[in-house]
Amino acid sequence: MSTPQQQTSVLFVCLGNICRSPLAHGIFQHLVNTNNLTDHYQIDSCGTASYHTGNPPDPRSIQTAALHNIDLTAQRARQFDPLTDIERFAWIIPMDAANHRDLIKLGTPKSRLRLMRSFDPTTTAPDIPDPYYGGDGGFEQVYQMLQHACQGLLDSIKDQA
């Protein structure tokens, strides 16, 4: 009898789960699918706050992702649940230092956390900025940052396997 292959679980985290983490989720899922690794990964996103629970991603995130052939319309915002998410996800990836601190306060072991931008080999900047209060162009800038970081994350996970 064969056993199912162990999946690598990745959780992307921002504040409200409508801008950055849904984009990261969609980009990473797209990379995984493109590399025929879909069966090897469990991917999700959430926010540290409950402001937008149940809502779809910000329309600007949806539009930006769609310009890159990524569909975010099935995603719905949810809040990080320390009782289940810490156990369920091997990789917990906050978008910035503030969310990193919030996740630690919620009991997430530091060893399980790594800032999203730390996987981007093109920069030493620590944070993915929140585009929520900016113009539409900020979403494309965030998309580009996340594209680099998601590719770096996938490469890092594959190298460890």
- Asked, for residue 2, whether it belongs to a domain, the answer is no
Q: Is 130 a catalytic residue?
A: yes
Choice among 58, 96, 120, 130 that is catalytic? 130
Work out the end-to-end distance of the chain between its first and last CA atoms, rounded to an integer number of angstroms.
Answer: 23
Residue type, 126: P
Note the pLDDT tens digit of each residue in 23-78: 999 999 999 999 999 999 999 999 999 999 999 999 999 999 999 999 999 999 99
Contacts of 82 (CB under 8 A, 6+ apart): 106, 107, 108
User: Looking at residue 161, what is its pLDDT?
Assistant: 62
Q: If you count them, how many residues does the chain have?
A: 161
Task: Give the range of the structural domain holding residue 141, as residue numbers without chain letter.
Answer: 8-160
Give me the catalytic one of 20, 44, 85, 120: 20
Catalytic residue among 14, 19, 46, 150: 14
pTM for this structure?
0.95
Q: Which range among 23-27, 71-75, 132-136, 149-153 shows the weakest confidence by mean pLDDT?
A: 132-136
The answer to the question of residue 151 being in a domain is yes
User: Regarding beta strands 41-47 and 91-94, do their DSSP bridges make them parallel or antiparallel, or are they unpaired?
Assistant: unpaired
DSSP conformation letters of 67-94: HTT---TT----B--HHHHHHH-SEEEE
Torsion from C-alpha of 112, 44, 97, 86, nearest 10 degrees: -30
Domain membership of residue 134 (yes or no) is yes
CATH at residue 123: 3.40.50.2300
Residue 53 lies in a domain: yes
Residue 136 has what pLDDT?
A: 80
Count of the separate structural domains present in the chain: 1
| pLDDT tier for residue 2 given thresholds of 50, 70 and 90 | very low
Q: What's residue 95's pLDDT?
A: 98
58 as an active site residue: the answer is no
Does residue 14 carry a catalytic annotation? yes
pLDDT at 135: 84
Determine, yes or no, domain membership for 3: no
98 assigned to some structural domain: yes
